Chains A and B, each alone.
Chain A
Amino acid sequence: GDSVTQMEGPVTLSEEAFLTINCTYTATGYPSLFWYVQYPGEGLQLLLKATKADDKGSNKGFEATYRKETTSFHLEKGSVQVSDSAVYFCALLNNQGGKLIFGQGTELSVKP
């Protein structure tokens, strides 16, 4: 079945460091790909998405490119801030139904 694998956390970075959180997927068909973020004490929020191969999703300085050849959707940010500390979830939506398939989440902690 469809699945998402993302790098394990926790990830601890200093402010202004470069961030990469790896995400790879297995899916039939042509899924849409997402990154969700959960800030402390809050619900899940959509961070960015890409709906077809080679699309780049971007928001709040974060970017991820849908790579069909490597089945990846890695999340990157050039300079993280303390306020980026959160849990990040990679997810896919297949076209056979409306349910999201999530990875296990990666906790990011950014220190001043």
Chain B
Amino acid sequence: EAGVTQFPSHSVIEKGQTVTLRCDPISGHDNLYWYRRVMGKEIKFLLHFVKESKQDESGMPNNRFLAERTGGTYSTLKVQPAELEDSGVYFCASSQASTGARMNTEAFFGQGTRLTVV
């Protein structure tokens, strides 16, 4: 079974340009998450999809970031225009639908996209 796949693995862009990151979750996983790690710091939550709906986007830094999840399958994260502080590693994770009140199903992570804005 294929794991979570992210494209591209690396991206170097100039300040002011646009970049789109893609995440293909494990087939059948309703939950999809985006996280980001800025150099040497903690991995921070960006947003959470349940199928095609945004469940929680409280971690999105600003309106330069736009996430979509077409048909509840793959997801894209677009940064437009990119700024220097957007550099970091962007992780995607997916998990099965939660049962009951306790959401503790295991999240599977992709290898991440390393974004460098110069």
A interface residues (Cβ-Cβ under 8 A, vs B): 4, 32, 36, 41-46, 49, 51, 89, 91, 93, 95, 97-105
Q: Which of A51, A89, A100, A101: most chain B CB closer than 10 A?
A: A100
Contact of B43 among A32, A42, A51, A105 (CB under 8 A): A105
Q: B31 on the interface (CB 8 Å rule)?
A: yes
How far, in whole Å, are A105 and B48 apart by their CA atoms in the complex?
22
Give the number of A-B contacts (CB < 8 Å).
Answer: 69
Q: How many chain B residues have a CB neighbour from A under 8 Å?
A: 31
User: Which chain B residue lies CB-closest to A30?
Assistant: B102
- Chain B residues near A41: list those with CB within 8 A: 111
How far, in whole Å, are A99 and B95 apart by their CA atoms in the complex?
11
Contact B91 A44, beta carbon cutoff 8 Å: yes
Contact B4 A43, beta carbon cutoff 8 Å: yes
With A97-B48, A98-B48, A98-B95 known as contacts, the answer to whether A104 contacts B33 (CB < 8 A) is no
What 0/1 pattern do residues 57 to 77 of B give for CB contact below 8 A with A?
A: 001000000000000000000
B interface residues (Cβ-Cβ under 8 A, vs A): 3-4, 31, 33, 35, 37, 40-45, 48, 55-56, 59, 91, 93, 95, 98, 101-104, 106-112
- Chain A residues near B107: list those with CB within 8 A: 46, 98, 100
